[in-house]
Amino acid sequence: MASRALACQTLHELRDLIQQDPTAAEHLLEELLDRIAQLNGRLHAYLAEPDRKRLRQQVREQLKACPNGKLRGIPITVKDNICIQGEETTCASRILQGFRSPYDATVIERLRREGAVLMPRANMDEFAFGSSTENSAFGPTRNPWATDRVPGGSSGGSAAAVAADLAIGALGSDTGGSIRQPASFCGIVGMKPTYGRVSRYGLVAFASSLDQIGPLTKDVTDAAILLSVIAGHDARDSTSAPVEVPDYVSQLNTSVKGLRIGLPKLPEEGLDHEVNDSLAEAVKAFERLGCQTTSVELRQIDKAIATYYIIATAEASSNLARYDGVQYGYRAVGSGLGVEGSGQAQSPEPRTQNALLDMYLTTRTSGFGDEPKRRILLGTYVLSHGYYDAYYLKGMKVRTLIKQDFDEAFKRCDLVVMPTAPSPAFRLGEKIDDPLQMYLSDIYTISANLAGVPAVSIPCGLSKAGLPIGMQLLTAPFREDLLLRAAYAYEQATDWHRRQPGL
Ligand code: GLN
Protein backbone atom coordinates (compact mmCIF):
# COMPACT_ATOMS: atom_id res chain seq x y z
CA MET A 1 0.00 0.00 0.00
CA ALA A 2 1.30 3.46 -0.83
CA SER A 3 2.18 5.44 2.28
CA ARG A 4 -0.18 8.25 3.25
CA ALA A 5 0.60 11.50 1.47
CA LEU A 6 2.49 13.91 3.71
CA ALA A 7 0.28 16.86 2.76
CA CYS A 8 -2.76 15.09 4.23
CA GLN A 9 -1.22 14.59 7.67
CA THR A 10 -1.61 16.73 10.75
CA LEU A 11 0.94 19.14 12.11
CA HIS A 12 1.71 16.90 15.08
CA GLU A 13 2.20 13.82 12.90
CA LEU A 14 4.48 15.74 10.55
CA ARG A 15 6.44 17.29 13.40
CA ASP A 16 7.30 13.80 14.67
CA LEU A 17 8.17 12.61 11.17
CA ILE A 18 10.44 15.57 10.48
CA GLN A 19 12.12 15.09 13.84
CA GLN A 20 13.12 11.57 12.75
CA ASP A 21 13.91 12.50 9.17
CA PRO A 22 14.34 16.19 8.33
CA THR A 23 14.22 15.48 4.57
CA ALA A 24 10.50 14.77 5.05
CA ALA A 25 10.07 18.57 5.29
CA GLU A 26 11.40 18.96 1.75
CA HIS A 27 9.11 16.25 0.40
CA LEU A 28 6.20 17.81 2.25
CA LEU A 29 6.78 21.19 0.62
CA GLU A 30 6.98 19.61 -2.85
CA GLU A 31 3.69 17.80 -2.28
CA LEU A 32 2.01 21.00 -1.17
CA LEU A 33 3.39 22.93 -4.13
CA ASP A 34 2.08 20.27 -6.51
CA ARG A 35 -1.33 20.33 -4.87
CA ILE A 36 -1.42 24.12 -5.04
CA ALA A 37 -0.51 24.01 -8.74
CA GLN A 38 -3.27 21.46 -9.26
CA LEU A 39 -6.04 22.92 -7.10
CA ASN A 40 -5.54 26.61 -6.44
CA GLY A 41 -6.89 27.62 -9.84
CA ARG A 42 -10.19 26.09 -8.77
CA LEU A 43 -10.22 27.05 -5.09
CA HIS A 44 -8.33 30.36 -5.05
CA ALA A 45 -7.31 29.88 -1.44
CA TYR A 46 -3.96 31.53 -2.12
CA LEU A 47 -3.82 35.02 -3.56
CA ALA A 48 -0.35 34.69 -5.06
CA GLU A 49 1.61 32.02 -6.90
CA PRO A 50 3.98 30.43 -4.41
CA ASP A 51 7.60 31.37 -5.00
CA ARG A 52 8.97 27.82 -5.20
CA LYS A 53 12.62 28.79 -5.03
CA ARG A 54 12.25 30.95 -1.97
CA LEU A 55 10.07 28.40 -0.20
CA ARG A 56 12.61 25.64 -0.79
CA GLN A 57 15.28 27.90 0.60
CA GLN A 58 13.07 28.73 3.60
CA VAL A 59 12.70 25.01 4.38
CA ARG A 60 16.46 24.47 4.29
CA GLU A 61 17.11 27.52 6.46
CA GLN A 62 14.43 26.68 9.01
CA LEU A 63 15.58 23.07 9.35
CA LYS A 64 19.04 24.33 10.16
CA ALA A 65 18.09 27.31 12.31
CA CYS A 66 15.48 25.65 14.55
CA PRO A 67 16.54 22.07 15.37
CA ASN A 68 14.10 21.92 18.29
CA GLY A 69 11.34 24.15 16.91
CA LYS A 70 7.75 23.14 17.61
CA LEU A 71 6.92 23.86 13.94
CA ARG A 72 10.20 22.85 12.37
CA GLY A 73 9.79 22.63 8.59
CA ILE A 74 5.99 22.91 8.73
CA PRO A 75 4.29 25.11 6.10
CA ILE A 76 1.73 27.49 7.59
CA THR A 77 -0.29 29.91 5.53
CA VAL A 78 -1.20 33.39 6.72
CA LYS A 79 -4.26 35.52 6.10
CA ASP A 80 -3.44 38.51 3.92
CA ASN A 81 -3.99 41.00 6.76
CA ILE A 82 -1.01 39.83 8.85
CA CYS A 83 2.30 41.48 8.00
CA ILE A 84 5.21 39.40 6.78
CA GLN A 85 8.35 41.41 6.17
CA GLY A 86 9.06 41.97 2.49
CA GLU A 87 5.83 40.32 1.36
CA GLU A 88 2.86 42.03 -0.17
CA THR A 89 0.05 42.50 2.37
CA THR A 90 -3.14 43.68 0.70
CA CYS A 91 -6.06 42.64 2.93
CA ALA A 92 -7.48 41.49 -0.42
CA SER A 93 -8.08 45.17 -1.26
CA ARG A 94 -6.99 47.18 -4.27
CA ILE A 95 -6.16 50.05 -2.00
CA LEU A 96 -3.23 48.12 -0.53
CA GLN A 97 -2.08 46.55 -3.79
CA GLY A 98 1.68 46.82 -4.06
CA PHE A 99 2.19 47.46 -0.35
CA ARG A 100 5.05 45.42 1.06
CA SER A 101 5.27 45.11 4.78
CA PRO A 102 8.45 46.60 6.28
CA TYR A 103 8.26 44.36 9.36
CA ASP A 104 7.02 41.03 10.73
CA ALA A 105 3.90 40.84 12.90
CA THR A 106 4.65 39.41 16.35
CA VAL A 107 2.82 36.18 15.49
CA ILE A 108 5.01 35.82 12.39
CA GLU A 109 8.18 36.32 14.45
CA ARG A 110 6.94 33.62 16.79
CA LEU A 111 6.16 31.18 13.97
CA ARG A 112 9.59 31.78 12.46
CA ARG A 113 11.29 31.24 15.80
CA GLU A 114 9.71 27.78 16.05
CA GLY A 115 10.87 26.77 12.58
CA ALA A 116 7.66 27.28 10.56
CA VAL A 117 7.78 27.78 6.81
CA LEU A 118 5.58 30.74 5.88
CA MET A 119 3.35 30.31 2.85
CA PRO A 120 1.97 33.71 1.86
CA ARG A 121 -0.85 34.60 1.47
CA ALA A 122 -4.38 33.39 2.10
CA ASN A 123 -7.38 35.03 0.44
CA MET A 124 -9.97 36.84 2.57
CA ASP A 125 -12.89 39.24 2.41
CA GLU A 126 -11.61 42.74 1.74
CA PHE A 127 -10.31 44.10 5.08
CA ALA A 128 -11.98 41.07 6.74
CA PHE A 129 -15.45 42.50 6.06
CA GLY A 130 -17.62 39.53 5.23
CA SER A 131 -18.66 35.95 5.87
CA SER A 132 -18.02 34.30 2.51
CA THR A 133 -14.70 35.56 1.05
CA GLU A 134 -16.77 36.84 -1.88
CA ASN A 135 -15.76 40.37 -0.89
CA SER A 136 -12.13 39.76 -1.86
CA ALA A 137 -11.16 42.31 -4.52
CA PHE A 138 -9.24 39.54 -6.26
CA GLY A 139 -12.00 36.96 -6.64
CA PRO A 140 -13.68 34.57 -4.22
CA THR A 141 -12.33 31.41 -2.62
CA ARG A 142 -14.38 28.24 -3.14
CA ASN A 143 -15.24 25.59 -0.59
CA PRO A 144 -13.17 22.41 -1.07
CA TRP A 145 -16.21 20.31 -0.07
CA ALA A 146 -18.40 21.73 -2.84
CA THR A 147 -16.89 24.29 -5.16
CA ASP A 148 -20.23 25.98 -5.85
CA ARG A 149 -20.30 26.88 -2.12
CA VAL A 150 -18.49 29.58 -0.15
CA PRO A 151 -15.76 28.59 2.32
CA GLY A 152 -17.11 31.10 4.83
CA GLY A 153 -15.23 34.22 5.77
CA SER A 154 -13.52 36.35 6.24
CA SER A 155 -10.60 33.90 6.72
CA GLY A 156 -11.96 31.73 3.87
CA GLY A 157 -8.60 31.34 2.12
CA SER A 158 -6.96 30.12 5.33
CA ALA A 159 -9.77 27.62 6.00
CA ALA A 160 -9.94 26.31 2.43
CA ALA A 161 -6.15 25.92 2.25
CA VAL A 162 -6.09 23.77 5.40
CA ALA A 163 -9.18 21.73 4.45
CA ALA A 164 -7.82 21.03 0.95
CA ASP A 165 -4.34 20.10 2.25
CA LEU A 166 -2.70 23.09 0.59
CA ALA A 167 -1.16 24.11 3.95
CA ILE A 168 -0.68 22.23 7.23
CA GLY A 169 -2.12 25.00 9.37
CA ALA A 170 -3.10 28.63 9.04
CA LEU A 171 -3.48 31.89 10.88
CA GLY A 172 -6.65 33.90 10.52
CA SER A 173 -8.23 36.83 12.31
CA ASP A 174 -11.61 36.92 13.99
CA THR A 175 -13.54 40.12 14.68
CA GLY A 176 -17.05 38.67 14.67
CA GLY A 177 -16.56 35.04 13.65
CA SER A 178 -14.03 35.12 10.82
CA ILE A 179 -11.98 32.18 12.07
CA ARG A 180 -14.77 30.02 13.51
CA GLN A 181 -17.38 30.33 10.76
CA PRO A 182 -15.02 29.40 7.87
CA ALA A 183 -13.58 26.59 10.02
CA SER A 184 -17.11 25.23 10.44
CA PHE A 185 -17.91 25.59 6.71
CA CYS A 186 -14.69 23.78 5.75
CA GLY A 187 -14.79 21.01 8.39
CA ILE A 188 -11.71 22.04 10.38
CA VAL A 189 -10.83 23.47 13.81
CA GLY A 190 -10.71 27.26 14.27
CA MET A 191 -10.12 29.17 17.46
CA LYS A 192 -10.62 32.77 18.47
CA PRO A 193 -8.53 33.27 21.60
CA THR A 194 -9.43 35.63 24.46
CA TYR A 195 -9.09 39.31 23.56
CA GLY A 196 -5.53 40.09 24.67
CA ARG A 197 -4.21 36.52 24.49
CA VAL A 198 -2.42 36.92 21.15
CA SER A 199 -0.54 40.03 20.09
CA ARG A 200 -2.12 41.96 17.26
CA TYR A 201 1.06 43.88 16.45
CA GLY A 202 1.30 43.64 12.67
CA LEU A 203 -2.34 42.69 12.14
CA VAL A 204 -4.03 45.27 9.91
CA ALA A 205 -6.74 46.68 12.16
CA PHE A 206 -10.45 46.19 11.37
CA ALA A 207 -12.19 46.83 14.71
CA SER A 208 -9.49 47.23 17.30
CA SER A 209 -11.60 46.36 20.34
CA LEU A 210 -12.74 43.06 18.77
CA ASP A 211 -9.92 41.72 16.54
CA GLN A 212 -7.98 38.61 17.54
CA ILE A 213 -5.54 36.39 15.62
CA GLY A 214 -5.99 32.63 15.97
CA PRO A 215 -5.20 29.22 14.46
CA LEU A 216 -7.07 27.16 11.83
CA THR A 217 -5.98 23.53 11.87
CA LYS A 218 -6.91 19.95 10.96
CA ASP A 219 -7.43 18.87 14.56
CA VAL A 220 -7.46 20.08 18.15
CA THR A 221 -3.90 19.00 18.98
CA ASP A 222 -2.65 21.13 16.09
CA ALA A 223 -4.70 24.09 17.36
CA ALA A 224 -3.12 23.65 20.81
CA ILE A 225 0.37 23.61 19.29
CA LEU A 226 -0.18 26.68 17.11
CA LEU A 227 -1.84 28.60 19.93
CA SER A 228 1.02 27.80 22.29
CA VAL A 229 3.40 29.33 19.75
CA ILE A 230 1.50 32.58 19.12
CA ALA A 231 0.01 33.27 22.58
CA GLY A 232 1.59 35.47 25.21
CA HIS A 233 2.22 39.04 26.23
CA ASP A 234 3.83 41.44 23.78
CA ALA A 235 4.96 44.90 24.85
CA ARG A 236 4.30 46.17 21.30
CA ASP A 237 0.54 45.63 21.62
CA SER A 238 -0.86 47.55 24.57
CA THR A 239 -4.00 45.40 24.57
CA SER A 240 -2.01 42.19 24.91
CA ALA A 241 -2.44 40.76 28.39
CA PRO A 242 0.41 39.87 30.74
CA VAL A 243 -1.21 36.53 31.56
CA GLU A 244 0.84 33.36 31.74
CA VAL A 245 0.34 30.86 28.91
CA PRO A 246 -0.28 27.32 30.16
CA ASP A 247 1.06 24.25 28.39
CA TYR A 248 -1.99 23.58 26.21
CA VAL A 249 -0.68 20.42 24.61
CA SER A 250 0.24 18.43 27.72
CA GLN A 251 -3.18 19.15 29.28
CA LEU A 252 -5.22 17.86 26.35
CA ASN A 253 -5.62 14.42 27.83
CA THR A 254 -6.98 15.58 31.18
CA SER A 255 -10.43 14.10 31.78
CA VAL A 256 -13.49 16.24 31.18
CA LYS A 257 -15.60 14.25 33.62
CA GLY A 258 -17.70 16.54 35.76
CA LEU A 259 -17.35 19.60 33.50
CA ARG A 260 -20.56 21.60 33.40
CA ILE A 261 -21.81 22.36 29.91
CA GLY A 262 -24.14 25.34 29.58
CA LEU A 263 -26.82 25.25 26.91
CA PRO A 264 -28.23 28.68 26.10
CA LYS A 265 -31.60 29.32 24.55
CA LEU A 266 -30.72 30.86 21.20
CA PRO A 267 -32.45 32.88 18.53
CA GLU A 268 -33.64 30.20 16.14
CA GLU A 269 -34.18 32.48 13.20
CA GLY A 270 -32.64 30.74 10.21
CA LEU A 271 -31.26 27.81 12.26
CA ASP A 272 -30.97 24.81 9.97
CA HIS A 273 -32.48 21.64 11.44
CA GLU A 274 -29.48 19.53 10.44
CA VAL A 275 -27.22 21.88 12.40
CA ASN A 276 -29.59 21.66 15.35
CA ASP A 277 -29.65 17.83 15.19
CA SER A 278 -25.87 17.54 14.97
CA LEU A 279 -25.50 19.81 17.96
CA ALA A 280 -27.97 17.74 19.99
CA GLU A 281 -25.92 14.62 19.16
CA ALA A 282 -22.73 16.39 20.19
CA VAL A 283 -24.25 17.34 23.52
CA LYS A 284 -25.09 13.66 24.10
CA ALA A 285 -21.48 12.77 23.32
CA PHE A 286 -20.36 15.19 26.05
CA GLU A 287 -22.82 13.57 28.46
CA ARG A 288 -21.34 10.16 27.66
CA LEU A 289 -17.93 11.63 28.48
CA GLY A 290 -19.23 12.44 31.97
CA CYS A 291 -20.10 16.11 31.51
CA GLN A 292 -23.22 17.57 33.10
CA THR A 293 -25.49 19.80 31.11
CA THR A 294 -27.36 22.77 32.46
CA SER A 295 -29.32 25.56 30.85
CA VAL A 296 -27.88 29.07 30.93
CA GLU A 297 -29.29 32.41 29.97
CA LEU A 298 -27.64 34.72 27.48
CA ARG A 299 -30.46 37.20 27.50
CA GLN A 300 -28.96 39.90 25.31
CA ILE A 301 -27.62 37.63 22.61
CA ASP A 302 -30.37 38.59 20.17
CA LYS A 303 -28.95 42.13 20.24
CA ALA A 304 -25.42 41.02 19.40
CA ILE A 305 -25.60 41.59 15.63
CA ALA A 306 -27.05 45.09 15.90
CA THR A 307 -24.52 46.00 18.59
CA TYR A 308 -21.64 44.57 16.60
CA TYR A 309 -22.55 46.43 13.41
CA ILE A 310 -22.47 49.71 15.31
CA ILE A 311 -19.21 49.15 17.16
CA ALA A 312 -17.37 47.30 14.40
CA THR A 313 -18.29 49.80 11.68
CA ALA A 314 -17.44 52.77 13.92
CA GLU A 315 -13.98 51.37 14.57
CA ALA A 316 -13.51 50.27 10.96
CA SER A 317 -14.39 53.71 9.56
CA SER A 318 -11.75 55.20 11.79
CA ASN A 319 -9.13 52.54 10.98
CA LEU A 320 -9.71 52.89 7.24
CA ALA A 321 -9.05 56.65 7.31
CA ARG A 322 -5.33 55.97 6.89
CA TYR A 323 -5.71 54.67 3.33
CA ASP A 324 -5.34 57.94 1.53
CA GLY A 325 -3.10 57.12 -1.42
CA VAL A 326 -0.12 58.71 0.32
CA GLN A 327 1.06 56.32 2.98
CA TYR A 328 0.40 52.85 1.60
CA GLY A 329 -0.02 50.96 -1.63
CA TYR A 330 -2.33 52.23 -4.30
CA ARG A 331 -2.87 55.70 -5.69
CA ALA A 332 -5.53 56.33 -8.29
CA VAL A 333 -4.43 57.00 -11.82
CA GLY A 334 -5.22 60.52 -12.97
CA SER A 335 -5.43 61.88 -9.45
CA GLY A 336 -3.51 64.96 -10.46
CA LEU A 337 -0.50 64.43 -8.24
CA GLY A 338 1.87 62.89 -10.71
CA VAL A 339 2.32 59.48 -9.05
CA GLU A 340 0.06 57.02 -10.72
CA GLY A 341 -1.21 53.48 -10.53
CA SER A 342 -0.52 50.87 -7.93
CA GLY A 343 2.78 50.43 -6.17
CA GLN A 344 4.48 51.80 -3.11
CA ALA A 345 3.18 55.32 -2.52
CA GLN A 346 5.74 58.08 -2.84
CA SER A 347 5.58 61.49 -1.18
CA PRO A 348 3.81 63.83 -3.53
CA GLU A 349 4.17 67.58 -3.75
CA PRO A 350 0.54 68.65 -3.96
CA ARG A 351 0.17 71.57 -6.32
CA THR A 352 -2.98 72.74 -4.64
CA GLN A 353 -5.11 71.59 -1.79
CA ASN A 354 -7.80 70.74 -4.31
CA ALA A 355 -5.47 68.38 -6.10
CA LEU A 356 -4.77 66.66 -2.78
CA LEU A 357 -8.45 66.30 -1.93
CA ASP A 358 -9.12 65.08 -5.43
CA MET A 359 -6.39 62.48 -5.06
CA TYR A 360 -7.84 61.23 -1.75
CA LEU A 361 -11.26 61.04 -3.29
CA THR A 362 -10.34 59.22 -6.48
CA THR A 363 -7.99 56.85 -4.66
CA ARG A 364 -10.58 55.90 -2.07
CA THR A 365 -13.39 55.73 -4.62
CA SER A 366 -11.54 53.32 -6.88
CA GLY A 367 -9.42 51.59 -4.21
CA PHE A 368 -12.17 50.40 -1.84
CA GLY A 369 -14.78 47.84 -2.82
CA ASP A 370 -18.50 48.10 -1.97
CA GLU A 371 -18.36 46.53 1.49
CA PRO A 372 -15.60 48.81 2.88
CA LYS A 373 -17.54 51.78 1.51
CA ARG A 374 -20.72 50.53 3.19
CA ARG A 375 -18.86 50.15 6.50
CA ILE A 376 -17.26 53.60 6.23
CA LEU A 377 -20.70 55.12 5.65
CA LEU A 378 -22.31 53.23 8.53
CA GLY A 379 -19.41 53.84 10.90
CA THR A 380 -19.13 57.54 10.13
CA TYR A 381 -22.88 57.89 10.62
CA VAL A 382 -22.99 56.20 14.03
CA LEU A 383 -20.09 58.32 15.23
CA SER A 384 -21.39 61.61 13.88
CA HIS A 385 -22.48 64.51 16.04
CA GLY A 386 -26.01 64.01 17.29
CA TYR A 387 -26.04 60.28 16.62
CA TYR A 388 -23.15 59.22 18.80
CA ASP A 389 -25.28 58.87 21.95
CA ALA A 390 -28.13 57.19 20.12
CA TYR A 391 -25.95 54.56 18.45
CA TYR A 392 -22.35 54.21 19.53
CA LEU A 393 -22.82 54.95 23.20
CA LYS A 394 -25.90 52.75 23.38
CA GLY A 395 -24.02 50.00 21.53
CA MET A 396 -21.25 50.17 24.12
CA LYS A 397 -23.82 49.82 26.93
CA VAL A 398 -25.43 46.75 25.35
CA ARG A 399 -21.95 45.33 24.86
CA THR A 400 -21.42 45.57 28.62
CA LEU A 401 -24.72 43.74 29.20
CA ILE A 402 -23.66 40.97 26.82
CA LYS A 403 -20.41 40.62 28.71
CA GLN A 404 -22.30 40.45 32.00
CA ASP A 405 -24.48 37.65 30.57
CA PHE A 406 -21.33 35.62 29.95
CA ASP A 407 -19.89 36.45 33.39
CA GLU A 408 -23.11 35.14 34.95
CA ALA A 409 -23.23 32.07 32.70
CA PHE A 410 -19.68 31.09 33.59
CA LYS A 411 -20.59 31.10 37.27
CA ARG A 412 -23.02 28.29 36.49
CA CYS A 413 -21.05 26.33 33.90
CA ASP A 414 -17.54 25.74 32.61
CA LEU A 415 -18.33 25.82 28.91
CA VAL A 416 -21.13 27.07 26.72
CA VAL A 417 -22.00 24.98 23.67
CA MET A 418 -23.82 26.32 20.61
CA PRO A 419 -23.71 26.09 16.83
CA THR A 420 -20.94 28.00 15.08
CA ALA A 421 -23.13 29.06 12.17
CA PRO A 422 -26.88 28.74 11.57
CA SER A 423 -26.35 26.64 8.43
CA PRO A 424 -23.70 24.72 6.52
CA ALA A 425 -21.88 26.53 3.69
CA PHE A 426 -24.21 28.48 1.41
CA ARG A 427 -23.87 28.89 -2.35
CA LEU A 428 -21.70 31.54 -3.97
CA GLY A 429 -23.91 34.47 -4.88
CA GLU A 430 -26.70 33.38 -2.52
CA LYS A 431 -26.29 36.23 0.00
CA ILE A 432 -23.94 38.66 -1.66
CA ASP A 433 -26.67 41.10 -2.70
CA ASP A 434 -28.34 41.02 0.70
CA PRO A 435 -25.95 42.39 3.33
CA LEU A 436 -28.44 41.78 6.16
CA GLN A 437 -28.69 38.06 5.34
CA MET A 438 -24.91 37.92 5.14
CA TYR A 439 -24.60 39.66 8.53
CA LEU A 440 -26.94 37.06 10.06
CA SER A 441 -24.40 34.30 9.31
CA ASP A 442 -22.52 35.53 12.37
CA ILE A 443 -25.42 35.43 14.78
CA TYR A 444 -23.77 32.82 17.05
CA THR A 445 -20.14 33.93 16.77
CA ILE A 446 -20.32 37.67 17.32
CA SER A 447 -21.08 37.73 21.04
CA ALA A 448 -17.75 36.06 21.90
CA ASN A 449 -15.94 39.03 20.34
CA LEU A 450 -18.18 41.56 22.08
CA ALA A 451 -17.55 39.85 25.43
CA GLY A 452 -13.87 39.16 24.70
CA VAL A 453 -14.19 35.47 25.61
CA PRO A 454 -12.39 32.61 23.81
CA ALA A 455 -14.29 30.27 21.51
CA VAL A 456 -13.45 27.35 19.25
CA SER A 457 -15.29 25.72 16.35
CA ILE A 458 -14.82 21.99 15.78
CA PRO A 459 -16.41 19.64 13.25
CA CYS A 460 -19.46 17.85 14.65
CA GLY A 461 -21.34 16.47 11.66
CA LEU A 462 -22.06 16.38 7.96
CA SER A 463 -25.28 17.48 6.34
CA LYS A 464 -27.19 15.18 3.99
CA ALA A 465 -25.64 17.11 1.13
CA GLY A 466 -22.21 16.18 2.54
CA LEU A 467 -21.31 19.60 3.95
CA PRO A 468 -19.45 20.02 7.26
CA ILE A 469 -21.25 21.28 10.37
CA GLY A 470 -19.42 23.01 13.19
CA MET A 471 -20.01 23.19 16.94
CA GLN A 472 -18.83 26.12 18.99
CA LEU A 473 -17.48 25.93 22.54
CA LEU A 474 -16.99 29.09 24.59
CA THR A 475 -15.50 29.65 28.00
CA ALA A 476 -14.28 32.28 30.46
CA PRO A 477 -11.41 34.62 29.51
CA PHE A 478 -7.95 33.04 29.34
CA ARG A 479 -9.29 29.50 29.76
CA GLU A 480 -8.31 28.33 26.26
CA ASP A 481 -6.83 25.30 28.04
CA LEU A 482 -10.34 24.23 29.06
CA LEU A 483 -11.75 24.80 25.57
CA LEU A 484 -9.01 22.72 23.99
CA ARG A 485 -9.37 19.93 26.55
CA ALA A 486 -13.10 19.63 25.97
CA ALA A 487 -12.70 19.87 22.19
CA TYR A 488 -10.02 17.20 22.31
CA ALA A 489 -12.14 14.83 24.38
CA TYR A 490 -15.01 15.22 21.91
CA GLU A 491 -12.68 14.72 18.98
CA GLN A 492 -11.30 11.50 20.49
CA ALA A 493 -14.83 10.19 20.93
CA THR A 494 -15.92 10.97 17.34
CA ASP A 495 -14.37 10.98 13.91
CA TRP A 496 -15.84 14.05 12.20
CA HIS A 497 -12.40 15.67 12.05
CA ARG A 498 -11.13 12.78 9.92
CA ARG A 499 -13.63 13.35 7.11
CA GLN A 500 -12.05 14.77 4.01
CA PRO A 501 -13.48 16.74 1.10
CA GLY A 502 -13.61 14.61 -2.05
CA LEU A 503 -11.51 16.90 -4.19
N1 GLN B 1 -18.63 38.59 9.15
C2 GLN B 1 -18.34 39.59 10.13
C3 GLN B 1 -18.18 40.92 9.45
O4 GLN B 1 -18.44 40.99 8.31
C5 GLN B 1 -17.11 39.23 10.91
C6 GLN B 1 -15.88 39.40 10.13
C7 GLN B 1 -14.64 39.11 10.94
O8 GLN B 1 -14.69 38.44 11.97
N9 GLN B 1 -13.55 39.67 10.47
O10 GLN B 1 -17.83 41.87 10.03
pLDDT band at 334 (very low <50, low <70, confident <90, very high): low
pTM confidence score: 0.95
Q: Is residue 237 part of a domain?
A: yes
- Domain residues for 341? 304-392
**Do 122 and 237 reside in the same domain of the chain?**
yes
**Do 110 and 231 reside in the same domain of the chain?**
yes
**Do 323 and 222 reside in the same domain of the chain?**
no
**Do 168 and 317 reside in the same domain of the chain?**
no
- Of 331, 360, 392, the residue that ends a domain is 392
Atom of ligand 1 nearest to the CA of 207: 9
**Do 211 and 343 reside in the same domain of the chain?**
no
pLDDT at 339: 47
Question: At residue 343, does pLDDT exceed 80?
Answer: no
Between 11-15, 62-66, 73-77, 498-502, the lowest mean confidence (pLDDT) is in: 498-502
pLDDT at 4: 80
Question: At residue 353, does pLDDT exceed 90?
Answer: no
Pocket test for ligand 1, best of 93, 129, 204 (most atoms within 8 A of CB): 129
pLDDT at 1: 39
pLDDT band at 335 (very low <50, low <70, confident <90, very high): low
436: left (phi over 0), alpha (psi -120 to 50) or beta: alpha
**Do 212 and 360 reside in the same domain of the chain?**
no
Atom of ligand 1 nearest to the CA of 309: 10
Q: Is residue 456 part of a domain?
A: no
Q: Is residue 191 part of a domain?
A: yes
- Of 46, 44, 35, 45, whose CA–CA distance to 8 is shortest? 35
User: How many Å apart are CA 139 and CA 237, to the nearest integer?
Assistant: 32
Q: Is residue 149 part of a domain?
A: yes
User: How many Å apart are CA 418 and CA 279, to the nearest integer?
Assistant: 7
pLDDT at 109: 98
Going from the Cα of 210 to the center of ligand 1, the distance in angstroms, rounded, reads 10
Atom of ligand 1 nearest to the CA of 173: 9
Question: Does residue 364 contact residue 323 with C-beta atoms inside 8 Å?
Answer: yes
Mean pLDDT of 198-227: 98
pLDDT at 436: 86
**Do 128 and 199 reside in the same domain of the chain?**
yes
pLDDT band at 342 (very low <50, low <70, confident <90, very high): very low
Mean pLDDT of 122-140: 98
Residues with CB under 6 A from ligand 1: 128-131, 154, 174-178, 206, 312, 442
Question: At residue 352, does pLDDT exceed 90?
Answer: no
Between 69-83, 201-215, 317-331, 344-358, the lowest mean confidence (pLDDT) is in: 344-358
**Do 204 and 60 reside in the same domain of the chain?**
yes
Question: Does residue 333 contact residue 377 with C-beta atoms inside 8 Å?
Answer: no
Going from the Cα of 476 to the center of ligand 1, the distance in angstroms, rounded, reads 22
pLDDT band at 208 (very low <50, low <70, confident <90, very high): very high
pLDDT band at 336 (very low <50, low <70, confident <90, very high): low
Residue with CA at minimum distance from ligand 1 atom 4: 130
**Do 209 and 131 reside in the same domain of the chain?**
yes
Residue with CA at minimum distance from ligand 1 atom 10: 129
**Do 319 and 189 reside in the same domain of the chain?**
no
Q: Is residue 462 part of a domain?
A: no
Query: How many domains in the chain?
Result: 2
pLDDT at 497: 93
- Of 192, 279, 196, 183, whose CA–CA distance to 475 is shortest? 192
Between 277-291, 351-365, 422-436, 460-474, the lowest mean confidence (pLDDT) is in: 351-365
Q: Is residue 268 part of a domain?
A: no
Going from the Cα of 474 to the center of ligand 1, the distance in angstroms, rounded, reads 18
Say how many C-beta atoms besides its own lie within 10 A of residue 202's C-beta: 23
Q: How far is CA 327 from the centre of its chain?
A: 26
Q: Is residue 430 part of a domain?
A: no
Residue with the larger pLDDT of the pair 2 and 441: 441
Mean pLDDT of 261-290: 94
Q: Is residue 401 part of a domain?
A: no
Collapsing DSSP to helix, strand or coil, 224 comes out as helix
Going from the Cα of 441 to the center of ligand 1, the distance in angstroms, rounded, reads 9
Residue with the larger pLDDT of the pair 437 and 429: 429
pLDDT in tens, 7-16: 999 999 999 9
Question: At residue 205, does pLDDT exceed 50?
Answer: yes
- Of 374, 392, 410, the residue that ends a domain is 392
Mean pLDDT of the chain: 94
Between 43-57, 184-198, 264-278, 327-341, the lowest mean confidence (pLDDT) is in: 327-341
- Of 349, 377, 392, the residue that ends a domain is 392
User: How many Å apart are CA 37 and CA 269, to the nearest integer?
Assistant: 41
**Do 192 and 316 reside in the same domain of the chain?**
no
Collapsing DSSP to helix, strand or coil, 430 comes out as coil
Q: Angle, to 10 degrees, between the axis of helix 220-230 and the axis of helix 106-113?
A: 110
Percent of the chain with pLDDT over 70: 96
* Residue numbers annotated as active site: 79, 154, 178
Going from the Cα of 438 to the center of ligand 1, the distance in angstroms, rounded, reads 10
Atom of ligand 1 nearest to the CA of 446: 5
Residues 6+ apart with CB under 8 A from 74: 11, 14, 15, 18, 25, 28, 115, 116, 117, 168, 169
pLDDT at 349: 55
Helix boundaries (H) for 204-272: 220-230
**Do 86 and 178 reside in the same domain of the chain?**
yes
Q: How far is CA 141 from the centre of its chain?
A: 14
Mean pLDDT of 328-336: 78
> For the domain that residue 246 is a member of, what is the CATH number?
3.90.1300.10
